[in-house]
């Protein structure tokens, strides 16, 4: 029995080290935020960015995403607890946008800038267009897929 527990703990430790942003989503976060966009892993932004974001939901990147006070408090607390602290997200990206983070830009340097604007993708904020398990907080290389409906001319610089 003991060895099962040890193995399980070791497994959790490995998963953490491998992808620090994988946190089971708070149901309220899922309900309120994922109605309009992917439930972005809280570890993708530092605490200060989340704080600013949750303090200005009525002007949320050009739209009104205002919420009742109780929900704001619950979601904010959870985001603060699970905000990114590891090296690559320690800096606050311009406009608190995940897509402007240095690590994001670097990771997507091989993506043709025109791809983001295609109807099948819409914007760089639409992670799920290529990351098939993004809604589960997983962004593994092996899960990346050429977006459905994307013009075949973008195939040539695609390596799936």
Partner 1 sequence: MSCIRTAARALMLAAALAGTVWAGTPQEQLSALSAQACRSPSAAQGQQFFNATHGREWSCASCHNAQPTGEGKHANTGKSISALAPAFNPERFTDPAKSEKWFRRNCNDVLARECTSAEKADVLAWLMSLKR
The alpha carbon dihedral of 92, 47, 19, 38 has a sign of: negative
68 binds partner 1 (CB under 8 A): yes
Q: Which of residues 28, 37, 88, 136 is near partner 1 by CB under 8 A?
A: 37
CA-to-CA dists, residue 122 to 10, 67, 126, angstroms: 40, 26, 7
Smallest gap from Cβ 11 to partner 1, in A, equals 32
30 binds partner 1 (CB under 8 A): no
Cα distance between residue 146 and residue 70, in whole Å? 40
Q: How many CA atoms lie within 13 A of 102 on its CB side?
A: 7
Applying CB under 8 A, the span of 19-27, 32-40, 95-103, 151-159 interacting with partner 1 comes to 32-40
Instruction: Convert residues 122-151 into a mask of x (bound to partner 1 by CB under 8 A) and - (unbound).
Output: xx-xx-xx----------------------
72 binds partner 1 (CB under 8 A): no
By the 8 A CB rule, do 119 and 113 touch? no
- Residue 61: phi and psi, rounded to 5, are 50, 45
Smallest gap from Cβ 62 to partner 1, in A, equals 7
Contact positions toward partner 1, by CB under 8 A?
34-38, 58, 61-68, 121-123, 125-126, 128-129
């Amino acid at each position: 029995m003991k060895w099962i527990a040890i193995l399980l703990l070791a497994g959790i430790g490995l998963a953490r080290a491998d992808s620090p942003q994988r946190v089971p989503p708070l149901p309220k976060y899922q309900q309120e935020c994922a109605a309009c966009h992917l439930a972005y892993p809280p570890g993708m932004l530092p605490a200060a960015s989340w704080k600013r974001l949750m303090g200005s939901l009525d002007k949320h990147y050009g739209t009104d995403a205002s919420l009742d006070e109780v929900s704001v408090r619950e979601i904010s607390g959870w985001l603060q607890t699970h905000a990114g602290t590891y090296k690559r997200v320690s800096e606050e990206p311009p406009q608190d946008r995940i897509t402007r983070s240095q690590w994001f830009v670097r990771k997507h340097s091989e993506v043709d800038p025109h791809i983001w604007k295609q109807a099948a993708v819409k914007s760089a904020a639409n992670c799920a267009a290529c990351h098939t398990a993004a809604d589960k907080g997983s962004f593994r290389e092996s899960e990346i897929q050429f977006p459905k409906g994307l013009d075949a001319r973008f195939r040539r610089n695609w390596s799936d």
